[in-house]
Structure 1
Amino acid sequence: MESPFKVGMINELRQKTGPEHSARRFFPDLPDAFATPFLVGLMEGVSADLMAKHLQSGEQSVGIGMNLKHTAPTPLGMEVRVVTELIGIEGKKLTFKLEAFDEKEKIGEATHERFIINADKFMKKLVSKATD
């Protein structure tokens, strides 16, 4: 079966930041600015969303790696826009190039790898691990 994924596919996500996205949620002595872990989450989310639109029944995707540079601060209250582009396909492993922007400038970039999984098999393994 031919893959539904093609190098060059893109997807975009926008998120209005608020107090719940502050770096201080992770440690009180950090700046009250948009936190890197939330940027990671947006990058993972926009890539997972691109994949979800093309996965077969019973399939899901999981993140297996990310190399991120968070290069500029974003004040809370600004909108963040994240764009992902599929740049590599190796069987069930897909690689994405990402860029993130706030309302003023580019704030980050990353490469991200995701893997296509069988959802039932994954959940059985997860449940087994939790009950062993």
Structure 2
Amino acid sequence: MPTESAPADPLQPGRTGTASVLVTPAQMAPHLGSGRAPVFASPAMIALMEAAAVDCVEDALAPGQETLGIHLDVQHIAATPEGLKVTATAELIERDGRKLVFNVEARDERELVGRGRHTRIIVDSSRFRSKVASKRPA
């Protein structure tokens, strides 16, 4: 008698995602409060890495789910001036239940500018949003 097998989990290691941005004053350190140097800010690089991780997995989640970033360990190793494009990539390297771990990196048009590891967790969107709403001041 044939048995029905469970559908394959689409969130397997090896998936990749990307996100890009053209560096403008809005992404530079002075604007974001992360220093005075006129370069791509570390907070902007981190946001781009998170966007790449979201791109990597969000389309494979079950309806009503989303991911939240819960840990970052990154190095910002090279400066990028205004006018260059920065592209972040994320590769899913591990899944443990709801926890997703990614290798992330960012490159400008010349070189590697950042790298590290990022962890996200899968949550039920409505339950999470309800919990956040309950924290709002009265």
TM-score normalised by L of structure 2 = 0.90
CA distance in 2, matches of 1:131, 1:24: 31
**Secondary structure of 1:129 counterpart:** coil
The verdict on how the C-alpha distance between 1:28 and 1:90 changes in structure 2, with shifts beyond 3 A counting, is closer
Aligned match for 1:114, one of 114, 117, 120: 120
Aligned match for 1:11, one of 3, 17, 21: 17
Aligned to 1:22: 28
The answer on whether the counterparts of 2:18 and 2:55 sit within 8 Å (CA) in structure 1 is: no
Aligned pairs for 1:59-70 within 5 A? 59-70=65-76
Give the aligned residue type for 2:74.
Answer: L
Aligned to 1:54: 60
The answer on whether the counterparts of 2:70 and 2:119 sit within 8 Å (CA) in structure 1 is: yes
Mind listing any 5+ residue stretches in structure 1 that lack a counterpart?
Answer: none
CA distance in 1, matches of 2:34, 2:61: 40
**Secondary structure of 2:56 counterpart:** helix
RMSD over equivalenced CA pairs, Å: 1.5
Aligned to 1:102: 108
Deviation per residue, 1:48-70 (Å, 9 max, x gap) = 12211101110011000000100
CA distance in 2, matches of 1:55, 1:21: 29
CA distance in 2, matches of 1:107, 1:97: 14
Deviation per residue, 1:73-102 (Å, 9 max, x gap) = 001110001111000100010000011111
The answer on whether the counterparts of 2:98 and 2:122 sit within 8 Å (CA) in structure 1 is: yes
TM-score normalised by L of structure 1 = 0.94
**Secondary structure of 2:136 counterpart:** helix
Give the aligned residue type for 1:105.
Answer: E
Aligned to 2:44: 38
CA distance in 1, matches of 2:33, 2:137: 32
Aligned match for 1:129, one of 115, 121, 135: 135
- How many residue pairs are counted as aligned between the two chains? 132
Deviates more, 1:99-108 or 1:12-21: 12-21
Identity %: 31
Mind listing any 5+ residue stretches in structure 2 that lack a counterpart?
Answer: 1-5
2:99 is the counterpart of 1:93 = yes
